[in-house]
Structure 1
Amino acid sequence: MSRTLKLAALVGVITSLPITLSVAAAENLKVVASFSIIADFARNVGGDRVDIIALVGPNGDAHVYEPKPADAAAVGSADVVLVNGLQFEGFLQRLVEASATKAPIVELTKGGEVLRNTEEEHHHDHDNAAKGEEGHAAEAEEGHEEPHHHHGESDPHAWQSVHNAEVYVKNIANAFCAADAAGCDTYRANAESYGEQIEALEEEIKAAVAEIPEGKRTIITSHDAFGYFEHEYGIKFLAPEGISTESEASAADVAALIKQIRQDKASAIFVENVTNPRLIEQIASETGLKVGGELYSDALSGENGPAATYIEMMRHNITTIKGAILAS
């Protein structure tokens, strides 16, 4: 009889295990991140207390992303939704409405240093350089001026400044604490530890830039995604496309850029993981610059790539830039 009771008890324990595990898993915060870089920040803050879905995955382009029904379902059942803001995610508003989510939509750029969107000025300068002020004025008067995409007043690529990355991390910790008070100490400790790694990264970047001669710090990339990096670290970036990969470069833009490259004596040219390399290859061919490698701007690489995390991405970019310039 005793043996039967023991067996019954053992069976009871075994059958209850999956239920216990599933309850534990259900306690994790369900977090949706709009794209891969934010998902990486969230993993570092949340640790094993959060389950994270990234809407736009590695090597994906959030500028042109079209949400799927599964994305609406994920946002609808989320506890927290983390986004960049500054109109980076053009798909966001309609996705949130379609999902009917009750989760807070947390804009991680709040409180960071935000730069103005200079895209319109760049296009204006390129047009003028290519055809002269008179031609530009006449074209505008006749109503033939090409319209350009508008992407808001601010440059959304704020994560390209490590100082701003620290703001993203603090905002994530605050959001997780608000949604899961029991885990707040863990989130704060994780954010502090990760913040120290980010600070060390910034020192690495500054040291690498210091080794590049000042007269050789002008480079070319596909689209205008590195304004914060330029502002923070002193590398000048020229790009044929604007803030968004949606804004295709006109022939006038490309001609003006090639002229500017020759005037500014650009040292290197790079493709990006989220853009078509053909335009960069054309510019490289016309200017005699050698393509110096691939930079990661708006998305991380895959897990086995050179930029699988934010820290690896920033380290890869500055190492690639420095290597190409010094080899030129």
Structure 2
Amino acid sequence: MLKTIRAALILGVITLTAFGASSAFAAPLKVVASFTVIADFAKNVGGDRVAITTIVGPDGDAHVYEPSPADAVAMAKADIVLVNGLHFEGFLQRLVDASATKASIVTLTKGVTPIDFKPEFADADAAEGAGTGGGKTVTDPHAFQSIANARIYVKNIAEAFCTADSDGCVSYQTNAAAYTKKLDALEGEVRAAIQSIPEAKRVVITSHDAFGYFEHEYGLIFLAPQGISTDSEPSAADVAKLVEQVKQDKAAAIFVENITNPRLIEQIASETGIKVGGTLYSDALSQPDGPGSTYIDMMHNNIRQIKGAILGS
């Protein structure tokens, strides 16, 4: 009888030990994403092997975000922190320091060819760390607005996940390849939509200059009263200059952004006689039940809104 009990206990210990090792092995990779677009990319690459915490949530503005104690806790516990870089997250260094995180900080714009921001607002944006000001060039951080760059973000995420979790590498690579095919299809749709808009009508107004990479890649022209950051209000002179430019360039549509107060755009719409065409998603995805809750949905929404406002369809 004693031998039977001892055997059962030993078997139980072995079973529990194996279960414990299995559970530890199966624990998801703890990933912190600085904002929603990156979180969506990470979800598509990581699948159920990752647990993602997002710092700046839906409709949130990373330019002016103030981190919370909960953000510091999430950073401290993270295995990997995924960030945009190019000074997009003004809060990032403070949060890294406050959390004392040991996580790998992965900059997803590595490999992206940065573009310079339009110089007329460079001085204002240099104040928040996006450039040097004084008439010098300022780097535009919104690289994710180009789908070609989105593919680079996805590649960098897959590499980071493989480094942190080699057992899951094949899964990450497979997911990244499948998602990249979806991005390829999306880019074809965006290019076709732009081609359907007459060149003379490819001028639109948005709240702040978040769409420089979209403009560079796909041929629309975006005008905005604010620079690459929403950190400061444009001056009356800047607004007057934009209104005059709009009248000269005959902008075809004007849009509010999900992260900004619509008051300024409504003022410009009133002064130029251009009707507000809808909402574009720039630096953040929508709420889960909104029209831009994923990166692909965001791009679909934006091009649909732009095309519809310009062509009336």
| Equivalent residues in 2 for 1:174-213, closer than 5 Å | 174-213=159-198
Tell me the amino acid that sits aligned with residue 62 of structure 2.
A
Following TM superposition, by how much is the alpha carbon of 1:26 offset from its aligned partner in structure 2, in angstroms?
6.1
2:120 corresponds in structure 1 to: 122
Specify the code of the residue in structure 1 equivalent to 2:45: V
Following the alignment from structure 2 to structure 1, what is the Cα–Cα distance between the partners of residues 235 and 25? 51
Q: CA deviation at 1:94?
A: 1.0
- TM superposition shift of 1:256: 0.5
Matched, 1:149 2:125: yes
**Residue 113 of structure 2 aligns to which amino acid in structure 1?**
E
1:87, 1:148 → 2: CA distance? 14
Q: Classify the secondary structure of the residue corresponding to 2:125.
A: coil
Partner of 1:45: 45
The Cα of 1:113 is off from its aligned counterpart by: 2.0
> How many percent identity over aligned positions?
66
TM-score scaled by length of structure 1: 0.86
Aligned to 1:106: 106
Deviation at 1:25, TM superposition (A): 8.3
Distance 1:308 1:25, change over 3 A: farther
Give the letter aligned to residue 41 of structure 1. F
Given candidates 229, 241, 245, the residue that maps to 1:244 is 229
Q: Which residues of structure 1 form unaligned runs of 5+? A: 125-146
- Name segments (4+ residues, structure 1) moved above 3 Å: 19-22
Counterpart pick for 1:296 among 281, 284, 290: 281
What code does the residue aligned with 1:201 have? L
Q: How many residues align?
A: 296
| Partner in structure 2 of residue 323 of structure 1 | 308
Q: Which moved more, 1:34-43 or 1:244-253?
A: 244-253
Distance 2:36 2:242 in 1: 31
After superposition, where does 1:241-320 map in structure 2 within 5 Å?
241-320=226-305
1: CA distance, partners of 2:113 / 2:146: 9
Give the CA deviation at 1:122.
1.6
Q: Does 1:28 align with 2:4?
A: no
Give the secondary-structure state (helix, strand or coil) at the position aligned to 2:247. Answer: helix
Structure 1 position 149, deviation (Å): 3.3
- Are the equivalent residues in 1 in contact too, given 2:76–2:101 (CA < 8 A)? yes
1:233 correspondence with 2:218: yes
Pairwise CA distance, 1:288: 0.5
Q: Which residue of 2 aligns with 1:159?
A: 144
Cα distance, 1:24 vs structure 2: 5.4
> SS state of the match for residue 55, structure 1?
strand
Closer, same or farther: CA 294–22 of 1 in aligned 2, 3 Å = farther
CA distance in 1, matches of 2:186, 2:121: 33
Contact 2:84 2:109 (C-alpha < 8 Å) held by counterparts? yes
| 1:123 CA drift (Å) | 3.1
Q: Aligned partners of 1:315, 1:20: CA distance in 2, in Å?
A: 45
| AA partner of residue 123 (structure 1) | F
Q: Is the 8 A contact 2:83 2:107 kept in 1?
A: yes
* Alpha-carbon spacing, 1:36–1:21, altered in 2? closer, same or farther (3 Å): farther
Give me the whole-angstrom Cα distance separating, in 2, the residues matched to 1:241 and 1:247.
8
Alpha-carbon shift at residue 264 of structure 1 (Å): 0.1
Write out per-residue CA displacement over residues 64-93 of structure 1, whole angstroms, 9 at most, x where no aligned residue: 000011111111110000000000000000
Distance 2:148 2:20 in 1: 42
1:217 and 2:193 are equivalent in the alignment? no
CA RMSD of aligned residues (A): 2.3
2:135 equivalent in structure 1: none
* SS of match in other structure, 1:116: coil
Q: What secondary structure is seen at the aligned counterpart in 1 of 2:106?
A: strand
In structure 2, stretches of 5+ residues that fail to align are: 132-137
TM-score normalised according to structure 2 size: 0.90
How far apart are residue 27 of structure 1 and its match?
1.7
CA 1:184–1:22: 2 relative to 1, 3 Å? closer
Determine if contact 2:186/2:296 at 8 Å carries over to the other structure: yes
Q: 1:240 and 1:21 mapped to 2: Cα distance?
A: 57
Distance in 2 (CA, whole Å) between partners of 1:224 and 1:22 is 49
Q: Find the aligned partners of 2:120 and 2:21 in 1 and give their Cα distance.
A: 56
Contact 2:125 2:228 in 1 (8 A): no
- Residues 59, 22 of structure 1: CA spacing in aligned structure 2 closer, same or farther, 3 A cutoff? farther
Contact 2:117 / 2:212 at 8 angstroms: preserved in 1? no
